[in-house]
Structure 1
Amino acid sequence: MTQNRLVRAAVAGSGALYAGFLVFYVGDWGGQDLRSFVIDASYVPLAVLATLLAVRIVRLPGLDPRTRRAWRFIAAAFACKLAGQTSWLIEDAVLHRDAYPAVADYLFFAFVPIMLPGLLLLPGASRGRADRVKHALDSLIVGASAFMMLWYLVLSPILEQRGIPASALFFSAGIPIGDLVLVLALAVLLLRRSTGADTSVRLLAVAVATLVVGDTSYAYIQLHDGFVSGMWSDLMWFTCAYLLVLAAHRRYREAVQDPAATHARRTGTNWLPYGAIALAYALLGTLAGKLGLFPLGGMIIGAILLTSLVVARQMYALRENRELAVTDGLTGLANRTLVTERLAQLTAQPVREGKHAAVLLIDLDRFKPINDAYGHEAGDAVLCAVAAALRSVIRAGDTAGRLGGDEFAVILQNLPDAAVAERIAQRLVDALRTPVIFGEHVLGVEASIGVALRGPDAADAEVLLQHADTAMYAAKRSGRARYQVYTPELDPRARDTELRRAVAAGEMVVHFQPAVSLTDGSVKAVEALVRWNHPERGLLMPGEFIDFAEETGAVVPLGEWVLRDACRQVAGWHATIPGADRVRLSVNLSPKQVVQPGLVDIIRGILDETGFAAGKLILELTEGVVLEPDAQTVARLEELRDLGISIAVDDFGTGYSALSYLRRLPVNILKIDRSFVTGIADDPEARTVAEAIVRLGMAFRMSVVAEGIETAEQARVLADMGCGYGQGYHFYRPLDGAVAAEALRALSPR
């Protein structure tokens, strides 16, 4: 931290030095010797600081290899410039030598070939072959324009000189030629639009540009009048030195703030080649006036006009192509490409307090049935209506786009507070409920919307989209046609980790609901029901976590734990409570557990571990598991039956019931869903259906258990039908282990 403060102080000091240099230079203070010494000496601290900052970047941990190689060359070029500045200070201000070329000139000349690979190695955006060819042509345009300027100002006058020493001629011509190469590298760098450290690259480019101007003027002055310190080339060189300091400091800050930062690829027009063409034409016009070529002036003006029209036409075509490339052809909204670009631009900005942004992912509910029933034209009409609804709700400056199919996205920027995103999401939900008229049909369409708010933990584009997607699927699970704001609790990975941790940490508890005989009221079995004793949210019912556990697979370790704990507790009752050994244990088996290849071995191991008798265990399967079982599932269930374990079908009648599986599978208990029990006391139709299910179970020689019995009349009616067992609040609510044990002890014979 102290080192960073020293560096910031040094950079601030370099700015003060630059300001002082400008005052001294413009004020024209002192005689020539004083001016030479002050100006020459002022370069050295800037060169030292720039070199140290560049070395600091090279030594920075975590820098990508290509950037590190580039800055090694740049640091070496800075060091070469430092050596040249020091040599020039001694030769010009101390020894007063006027030899040309001086030793410093050789060092300055070496700056170009060392700096060149550094500029070319700086990372750029990944481009296709067509882009590379286009950028090469643009770079050559810039180079050709620069060559015209250098030829007119320096090279042509050099070649016209007579009697110049070979070394002087070499340096006078070599400096502009080297600068021309730097201009080409600079053009390549800018046209490539580097994906990283954009500000530092721009500072570096401007520094190189001022160096080229300074070198060109130096070569020109040296040929005609002879150069002395204090001429305006010094102003360009000193500006270059200060910009090099800023570029190196900025690059380090960018790397420290985010070593992997990448800016969004810019797709706008790059004006650099067009500016170079304009500069070349300006030179032609000046030359025509100077040499008296105005008979050709009309042709030059015409050429400039024609080129301008071609450029304007190209710019319009590029704009039109750009709009076509980023617009969804059906809805006219932004397509996935533009949405991705806008999202990248949003996330490239720093997260600031008081500035809010959000991403909304919108998925239409039950869109496929519309396509299937009415055809794709109806589906297209719905999509266009959705686009119109989005436009009517979002604000100017926000982005609405179609990602594909029936999935849309909205990017909200510059929100005054996070609640605005929720209000917009609710307005979208309401707007999308509007029916769509298609011919003679009225098509209903609704949408589920996931809202992800940008913040310190969701500043990245990919993370924002993941959060919005997670929230959107949570909205669908919650009943569709609504919006859901992302919270960490919705994250499948985080929730899965939390659920598995809860199992390992002992936060799960088993409650037991007794099932009784409808003839004498005696307890015949207890059903194990899991609860989550959450440390923050309290006791959670299965509805709050079982479905999610099924989705993620966490239900497998959870189901094993429930079976083990329930067997352990009930085995203890059997051993300590008189008469309790007649009570059987019923445990639900999830669909994911049923398809486990090692299911039988797992259950056998749990029974051996807890000492629970297999003949006292009932495994309950949902109807969906056994509706169309494969051969392996049937084999596993038969193997469990052979161990003495009973198999029950839970919630019978709520799925797509088929009588065939009752014959194919080793099922010996049928549990009637509570929906068939409600109303049987006073609804003849409900009573008839319930009786049919009871008779069906009896026909297959199964024990029938009715769930959800809440009144004595319901229990009496079921008993009259022949239903043997019942379970519900009329008899017992789910009880924790200790209370259930006390209830059994109270019923045991004295």
Structure 2
Amino acid sequence: MASAAVAGSGLLVAGFLVFYLAGWGGAELRAVITDAVYVPIAVVFTLLAVRVVRLPGLDARSRRAWRFIAFAFAAKLAAHVSWFIEDGVLHRDVYPAAADYLFFAFVPLMLPGLLMLPGVTRTRVDRIKQTLDSLIVGASAFMMLWYLVLSPILEQGFAASALVLAAGQPIGDLLLVLALAVLLLRRSAGADTSVRLLAGALAMFVVGDTSYSYLSLHNGFVTGTWPDLLWFTSCYLLVLATHRRYREAVQDPTATHSRRTGTTWLPYGAIALAYALLGTLAGKLGLFPLGGMILGAILLTALVVARQMYALRENRQLAVTDSLTGLANRTLVTERLAQLTAQSVRDGKHAAVLLIDLDRFKPINDAYGHEAGDAVLSAVATALRSVIRAGDTAGRIGGDEFAVILQNLPDAAVAERIAQRLVDALRTPVIFGEHVLGVEASIGVALRGPDAVDAEVLLQHADTAMYAAKRSGRARYQVYTPELDPRARDTELRRAVDAGEMVVHFQPAVSLTDGSVKAVEALVRWNHPERGLLMPGEFIDFAEETGAVVPLGEWVLRDACRQVAGWHATIPGADRVRLSVNLSPKQVVQPGLVDIIRGILAETGFAADKLILELTEGVVLEPDVQTVARLEELRDLGISIAVDDFGTGYSALSYLRRLPVNILKIDRSFVTGIADDPEARTVAEAIVRLGMAFRMSVVAEGIETAEQARVLADMGCGYGQGYHFYRPMEGTAAAEALLALSRG
């Protein structure tokens, strides 16, 4: 309905233009038709303004502003109706008529509406500059209105009431010009389309009013002539502005538009118009002795303006450039990202953001000083410039982190090729004095796909991909996919636990003296619906980072206890087999850990003295008082504590004495090679002797051959675990193996 009304208004304006240019009808017919056409257009923009005011999602300030604008439109509608009756129907030629008072009311109602419209938040200095620029525009407008309208009005000798109304119109127009200048300068170049249409409508209205007043004072105004074309255009722009404002609010009532803060042309254009008028008057009035001075003043002003614009451009360049590398800084990168994401996605065109983080940059700073670090950063900037294309943006956004914005790519693969070229370029050594500094980089690539995302999200995607590249070995690039998103992966992991996608496999640990099974270690696997069976290395570290390891660890403990408790009850002799379960560092620091484990044991019926909890060396190295208290409480329940992968970290022997640890598990890296490498054998034997010295049971992991098992047994290692004895197997297979042993 509204769109049809907008289109109808456009047809009326176009029809009047044809009517005017064709010169149809006499003066009386033209006056009647002109007065009549205004009314339906005024009805449309008034109703559309009321519709904006009644929008449910409109913010309070905008609603107040548009309420004043709607009242101003209503006054204008009443004025057009009144004028149609007085001029077109009653043919009354009276000044001032009732319609003149209503036209006069339009300005004081419109002014507060314009000034209340929301704008960009500015600093105090910016507000002072805007005020000065607005006054420049107002002064220039006053010069023109004084010459064209105000001075002739004062010379006419009107009666007091008529003089107030006659002079009030150009003065009101001058106030409108000031309000428009404030509005446009406050919103800068990124103003909404509706605001620009509204400003255009009012500017056309002021020009029409000035033309009307000038003609009335000199030649006499005739309805249906060219000033009406200006007013009709103004009315139609009001229709478009109100309709557009409604659509902006409906599409996204909370949207904020990016603003460019560059130099505005408005005050300089106003100065140029004022000097043009001054020059015209000098020639018209014969003021040639002053002509040279006027030309000099114009030239001086132009030079000052040019100098100011150059200084502002230089200041802008300094404000958005990184002083060390000469690349864009974070401010400019953010602006370019906002511009990129504000553009509509075009078919066949792609864009990407690359986030680059230097690998091992801090050791260079620490070892060779900040000057060396600066040399590396400058070399990185040179490498970036050598790879990216003209029109792309490279910037340093902080420390050793850089960003590259690629636009108008023919396909997504181009972004990957550029990323790989950057990885290769950044491998080039940097010469610093007598030193050759090696630097590499991890790069995250975020592609802007058909589903447009905002700048912050795009940068987050690139950051996620960059950290994934670092985790994958550094000195490489990684393209963002939803699977890399920590929140998405965390959600997927937690969902997998709830959905029963996790499974527990068991690997027996045997006595190295008689080969009997003494324990089984519970090892979790993820039966992923799309990627198949995943080993712990593909998800445990991430689960540890996000905290999903806590519910996962509880589930593993509960399920393993349930299964092994079933073996104890159904398989003869299996009740002597103990269960070993890994406990993550995040589980260990849980205040309610002991209650959780006690509850799982009660729920599954598993005996506490058959449970072994394995801790990583990270927990053993720096345990706090609460951690030690929890472990001691678990030991008091009868649960054994084991240190897993011993020797791979930075073990502190004093903590082995303080903690209630019963079992030491030698990492597989110390077992490999002991059969034929004397040095490896010496290290492994030292760890075995250490465990014996602390009166711990020692378990060797990763035993692959019979010779390794024999050597470890000769050292005094009591237990072993590895593919030589058993591979990890599902619960059913593990139960069958135990059953076969019991029968054998």
Q: What's the TM-score, normalizing by structure 1?
A: 0.97
Q: Which runs of 5+ in 2 are unaligned?
A: none
Equivalence for 2:334:
340
Q: How far apart are the structure 1 equivalents of 2:280 and 2:191? A: 38
Cα distance, 1:300 vs. partner?
0.5
CA 524–195 in structure 1, closer or farther in 2 if over 3 Å, else same: farther
Kept after mapping to 2: 8 A contact 1:53/1:245: yes
Equivalence for 1:614:
608
- Give 2:614's aligned amino acid: E
SS in 1 for 2:743: coil
Give 1:14-413 correspondences, 5 Å limit: 14-162=9-157, 164-193=158-187, 198-413=192-407
Kept after mapping to 2: 8 A contact 1:124/1:195: no
Equivalence for 2:702:
708
Give 1:271-670 correspondences, 5 Å limit: 271-670=265-664
Q: Which runs of 5+ in 1 are unaligned?
A: 1-5
Q: How far apart are the structure 2 equivalents of 1:256 and 1:397? A: 35
- Give 2:92's aligned amino acid: R
- Give 1:87's aligned amino acid: S
Q: How many aligned residue pairs are there?
A: 744
CA 384–443 in structure 1, closer or farther in 2 if over 3 Å, else same: same
- Give 2:583's aligned amino acid: L
Cα distance, 1:239 vs. partner?
0.5
CA deviation profile, 1:461-490 (whole Å, cap 9, x unmatched): 111111111111111111111111111111
Cα distance, 1:100 vs. partner?
1.5
Cα distance, 1:259 vs. partner?
2.3
Q: How far apart are the structure 2 equivalents of 1:207 and 1:459? A: 34
Q: How far apart are the structure 2 equivalents of 1:533 and 1:611? A: 27
Kept after mapping to 1: 8 A contact 2:188/2:264: no
Q: How far apart are the structure 2 equivalents of 1:690 and 1:646? A: 23
Q: How far apart are the structure 1 equivalents of 2:40 and 2:188? A: 29
Q: Which shows bigger deviation, 15-24 or 516-525?
A: 15-24
Kept after mapping to 1: 8 A contact 2:189/2:260: no
Kept after mapping to 1: 8 A contact 2:190/2:260: no
- Give 2:67's aligned amino acid: R
The root-mean-square deviation of aligned C-alpha atoms, in Å, is: 1.5
CA deviation profile, 1:387-437 (whole Å, cap 9, x unmatched): 001101111111111111111111111111111111111111111111111
Q: How far apart are the structure 1 equivalents of 2:324 and 2:355? A: 19
- Give 1:689's aligned amino acid: V
Q: How far apart are the structure 1 equivalents of 2:585 and 2:700? A: 22
Q: How far apart are the structure 2 equivalents of 1:453 and 1:18? A: 46
CA deviation profile, 1:176-219 (whole Å, cap 9, x unmatched): 00111110000001111269762211111111001001111222
Cα distance, 1:225 vs. partner?
4.2
Cα distance, 1:349 vs. partner?
1.3
Find 1:681's aligned residue among 675, 683, 706: 675
Q: How far apart are the structure 1 equivalents of 2:493 and 2:421? A: 35
CA deviation profile, 1:9-57 (whole Å, cap 9, x unmatched): 3323322222222111122211112211221222122212212222222
Q: How far apart are the structure 1 equivalents of 2:32 and 2:738? A: 104
Q: Which shows bigger deviation, 207-216 or 340-349?
A: 340-349
Q: Which shows bigger deviation, 727-736 or 453-462?
A: 453-462
Identical residues among aligned pairs (%): 88
Kept after mapping to 1: 8 A contact 2:184/2:191: no
Equivalence for 1:3:
none
Kept after mapping to 1: 8 A contact 2:82/2:99: yes
Kept after mapping to 2: 8 A contact 1:196/1:261: no
Q: How far apart are the structure 1 equivalents of 2:153 and 2:452? A: 60
Q: What's the TM-score, normalizing by structure 2?
A: 0.98
Q: How far apart are the structure 2 equivalents of 1:454 and 1:527? A: 46
- Give 1:122's aligned amino acid: L
CA 195–152 in structure 1, closer or farther in 2 if over 3 Å, else same: closer
Find 1:743's aligned residue among 727, 732, 737: 737
CA 332–474 in structure 1, closer or farther in 2 if over 3 Å, else same: same
- Give 1:123's aligned amino acid: P
CA deviation profile, 1:231-260 (whole Å, cap 9, x unmatched): 222111000011111112222222233322
Q: Does 1:725 align with 2:719?
A: yes
